[in-house]
Amino acid sequence: MNEVRTGIIGLGNIGTTHAKNITAGLVPNMRLTAICDISRERREFAKKAFPEAEIFDRADKMFESGLIDAVIISVPHYDHPTLAIAAFSHGIHVMVEKPAGVYTKQVMEMNAAAEKSGKLFGIMYNQRTNPIYQKLRRIVRSGELGAIKRVLWVITDWYRSQYYHDSCTWRSTWKTEGGGTLINQNPHQLDLWQWIFGMPSRVMSHVSFGKYYNIEVEDDVTAFMEYDNGMTGVYITSTGEAPGINHLEISCDMGMITVENDKITFIKNEISEREFNKINTNVFGMPKSKPCEIHTEPQTEEQHALILQNFTNAILHGEPLLAPGYDGIHGLTVSNAIHYSAWTGDWAEIENFPHDDFYKILNEKIAASTVVKEERNITANTEGSY
């Protein structure tokens, strides 16, 4: 086997991006051999844009065709686990788009199916290829910062107008998308949070639903996280602020790290704050500190292609996956916990997360949905169709 024959389910915006990357040769040894979409319009587009691929209107037909070794699943969120489980049952490697799913119960089922199949399982956490976050993770995991006391991440540069929410029938409802900014814009950052700092022990949140837009899901979020080691975190995000900001701040024994505008800044203490506290005899004394340059490699614009290349190399040569699909449960658990805390007005425990109760409340939200987007006077595009 010297190439990975790959199919794509869902030729919307991101599915088309993956198809273009593959056919442009940006993913060596991966070949696009099949495309599946339930939209006739998208299938007609696929025939013209990607004539080398066989076109299907049903995923099971593609799985049974013998034309693919791997599949990229880029459809609306609820369908990620269902299609992944079906692909694994046919002995096919799976790359699933973020998020892994909408609720943890279905993602745990997907993970179990992946493990049973023995096939490679990846998730499109392309932000893990960013040299800044890779460097930050190495620094945090090395222990050179000492104990981390507090993390603050304010990421409000996700501005989305009402037109965005109305542009596609599956967006911004509990029934069809399963949430708002947490499930759509923020899976990458919630993954990076746990990838760098680990999983919190519990979460308390304040969430606004339809604060800025005519939607039923969340568009403004503040979450407080506690860790067993004493670290705390505050995560703030919104789609209703312009221009917004992406600011990450880490307070630790050895000083303060900030990440903003694609740059890491480290104000480093000469000695640990905890050590200074033991020896200091000055009423207003504090550790001396100075800026410490942290160099990172430039970012690449081909993050999605890099994840697919790593996936290809894993299949062909056993290269470790940068973003294993099994990891999708972690960021989703934090996301579900933020929702659950807001719904119940109480702490959400992470290790003993109430998966069944969350699913019950989610179904109540779906049943009570009052937003019927098909009745709006919009022209729905086919992003995320399959």
Residues 135 and 119 in one domain: no
Cβ-proximal residues to 29 (8 Å cutoff; 6+ apart), any chain: 2, 3, 4, 312, 313, 316
Any domain includes 12? yes
Give the pLDDT of residue 371. 58
Whole-number Å distance between alpha carbons of 4 and 313: 9
Residues 42 and 95 in one domain: yes
* Region label for 240, one of left (φ > 0), alpha (ψ between -120 and 50) or beta (otherwise): alpha
Cβ-proximal residues to 318 (8 Å cutoff; 6+ apart), any chain: none
Best CA proximity match to 14, nearest among 123, 146, 172: 123
Contact assessment for residue 188 and residue 127, using Cβ atoms and an 8 Å cutoff: yes
Give the pLDDT of residue 365. 96
Residues 176 and 57 in one domain: no
Q: What are the strands, taking DSSP E only, across the chain?
A: 4-9, 30-36, 54-56, 70-73, 93-96, 121-123, 148-155, 202-209, 218-226, 232-238, 246-252, 255-260, 263-269, 289-293, 348-349
Residues 118 and 26 in one domain: yes
Domain containing 82 — which CATH number?
3.40.50.720
Residues 105 and 226 in one domain: no
pLDDT digits (tens, 9 = 90+) for 326-354: 999 999 999 999 999 999 999 999 999 99
Give the pLDDT of residue 380. 30
Any domain includes 384? no
The DSSP bridge pattern shows strands 246-252 and 232-238 to be: unpaired
- Cα distances (Å, whole numbers) of residue 361 to 173, 175, 202, 364: 14, 12, 19, 5
Whole-number Å distance between alpha carbons of 150 and 276: 19
Whole-number Å distance between alpha carbons of 8 and 1: 20
Any domain includes 65? yes
Question: Could you give the angle at the alpha carbon of 286 between the alpha carbons of 283 and 287, nearest 5°?
Answer: 145
Residues 23 and 90 in one domain: yes
Residues 115 and 150 in one domain: no
Give the pLDDT of residue 301. 79
Residues 350 and 362 in one domain: yes
Any domain includes 382? no
Domain containing 135 — which CATH number?
3.30.360.10
Residues 140 and 55 in one domain: no
Residue range(s) defining the domain that contains residue 23: 4-125+302-324
Q: 66: how many CB neighbours lie within 10 A of its CB?
A: 10
Which tokens in the block code for residue 123? 């998730």
Residues 9 and 112 in one domain: yes
DSSP-assigned letter for residue 297:
P
Contact assessment for residue 18 and residue 304, using Cβ atoms and an 8 Å cutoff: yes
Any domain includes 386? no
Question: Could you give the angle at the alpha carbon of 25 between the alpha carbons of 19 and 29, nearest 5°?
Answer: 95
Measured over the CA atoms of residue 74, residue 129, residue 102 and residue 241, the dihedral's sign is negative
3-state secondary structure of 9: strand
Whole-number Å distance between alpha carbons of 365 and 72: 30
Residues 110 and 208 in one domain: no
Residues 89 and 184 in one domain: no
Contact assessment for residue 102 and residue 183, using Cβ atoms and an 8 Å cutoff: yes
In the block, residue with structure tokens 């991966």? 30
Number of structural domains (the chain) is 2
Any domain includes 385? no
Any domain includes 171? yes
Whole-number Å distance between alpha carbons of 303 and 27: 11
Give the pLDDT of residue 168. 83
Any domain includes 383? no
Residues of the chain predicted below pLDDT 50: 373-386
